[in-house]
Chain A
Amino acid sequence: MANLKVNYLGVEFKNPVVTASGTFGFGMEYNELYPIEKLGGITVKGLTLNERQGNPAPRIFETTGGILNSVGLQNPGVRHFAQKIMPELKKLDLKIIANVSGSTFADYVEACKIVDASGADIIELNVSCPNVKQGGAAFGTNPDTVFEITKLVKEAISTPLCIKLSPNVTDIASIGQAAMDGGADGLSLINTVSGMAIDLKTRKPVFHNIVAGLSGPCVKPIAVRSVYQTYAKTKAPIIGMGGVANGDDAVEFMAAGATLVSIGTMNFKDPFTPLNVIDSLNTYLDKNGISDVNDIIGCAHS
């Protein structure tokens, strides 16, 4: 049994496996299937200052090796999260990463202040949601905006802050650098890849927003490359994600530079994927005579 404990942004995780925002709700639905305390942590559904109803149906569409989604940040708002949800989550022995979005700088700051006081372990700033008209990816594709918003939020909170990056840019590492220059403690990548699908009956776009976010095993090579390049440039502590389905995938992400590995889409196929990743990551380490998972973080670079 190798050591699986990792430290991310000063927070101790019992293992490096967490879940990705938007795929795991607030954890309770999966807690019915298995004790989610077995996970290093969970990232909660993307929160905004005020409640949002999100986009009209359809919101999901299966493609080869992945899915497209267009949920549009339906969520109960940060106040509901802080008052009703966090107290329940705090009873569990796992770390809580709160994902926060906004449509204006002021929204982001105000929402983060409320989450800051809620007791969440880490705030993940979502500057890369492709499914909302204002904010989201519009912020995350411009290094100057990313710098600015990171700086504003960082000044307003004391919780460790990581910035979630969009892969829909020419140079993801330079966006990551802008976030780190703005004062981010770490980075989280990748958000979904911009994609679309056409309905074969109507020959029109499947989604009302035309474009949607692609995720799942089909994006994994893009995600591993993004983590590798971003780590090489910034040396930032990274949460790596994009199509992780098993322990081997987790090893790839960690070798590329991730400290934590996040499971998203594959929760839908097999809700036990995160537990299987923990087990098979451990098996991989034992088999290869590695006694501490920290030894493989970024090892692909040396």
Chain B
Amino acid sequence: MADLKKYQVTEARIIKMENLCGTIYDVTVENEYLAQASRCGQFVHIDCGEQFVLRRPISICEVTDSGIRFIFDVRGKGTKVLSEKQVGDTLDILGPLGNGFTPSDKKSLLLGGGIGVYPLFELAKQTKTCDVALGFRSKDLVTLEDEFKKQCDNLYIATDDGSYGFHGNALQAVKEKLESGAYEAVYACGPLPMLKALKTITDNLGIFCEISMEERMGCGIGACLCCNIKVEDDGEEGFKHLHVCKDGPVFNAKEVQF
């Protein structure tokens, strides 16, 4: 274990491939190295086929005994090709990459919106006592409800159109409870407006908050400097650019400039 590389290029065999709903796919791959090295909140960079110059970054949903599970949405041609893979096919994976979440033993809140729900699952498994709030566009996209329920004290589901659970986003569903001081740590992944609104609240409360960020990415390991986000800096410009792949994808919300 001492010699375990931080990341590698590795071949992983698909042992489960399921269309969860709409264009969202749930994939489990077998690979001993990834099972040992992966942590909650990290991601993998997947080669989707010869026709693509760039890999596709996808967050790890769960670290299993024999590999990892990830859930992705078909956003373009690369993820479309990925969605057509079958059980038994192998994937060329660079990973695990980035810095993941820092689980807390204090009362935590996990907030996920849309495709940002899935990177929180392994964290929920690793967190002793937490509430989870998940937001989806509508009832037909509500997924992993039962799985999350087993990992938390209270599960709040919100839908944008009000067709299931709370009418609104995940943050709005738990805003009052959060502002009342019910939590000592918050973790979130989802649309930028939700993360921005969350940061305002947790900054005011002065509580620990980690958010997982997304940006168009090149190398995945911190060499090309493409996936930049702005963070606070004392220097002349008042900000500096860090990179989602190497410095993140999880950042302390306090540092991030929206």
List residues of A whose CB falls within 8 A of some B CB.
22-25, 29-30, 32-33, 45, 53-54, 56-62, 64-67, 69, 71, 74, 216-217, 265-272
Contacts and interface: CB of A to CB of B under 8 A. Distances in A.
B47 A269 contact: yes
Interface string B230-255: 10000001011100001000000000
B228 interface: yes
Given A57-B215, A58-B226, 18 more contacts: A24-B223, A30-B221, A32-B6, A53-B237, A53-B240, A54-B241, A60-B217, A60-B224, A60-B226, A67-B54, A67-B218, A74-B228, A267-B219, A267-B223, A268-B54, A268-B224, A271-B219, A271-B221
Given A33-B7, A59-B216, A74 B239 contact: no
A272 B9 contact: yes
B54 A54 contact: no
B234 to A, nearest CB: 13
B216 A61 contact: yes
B47 A71 contact: no
B8 A33 contact: yes
B121 to A, nearest CB: 27
Nearest to A217: B53
Contacts of B9: 33, 270-272
The SS class assigned to the B binding surface is: loop
Interface of B: 5-9, 47, 51-55, 78, 94, 215-230, 237, 239-241, 246
A43 B61 CA distance: 36
A57 B244 CA distance: 11
A57 B222 contact: no
Given A53-B237, A57-B216, A269 B223 contact: no
A269 B54 contact: yes
Nearest to B221: A29
B53 A56 contact: no
A71 B225 contact: yes
A267 B54 CA distance: 9
Nearest to B229: A57
Contacts of B54: 60, 62, 67, 268-269
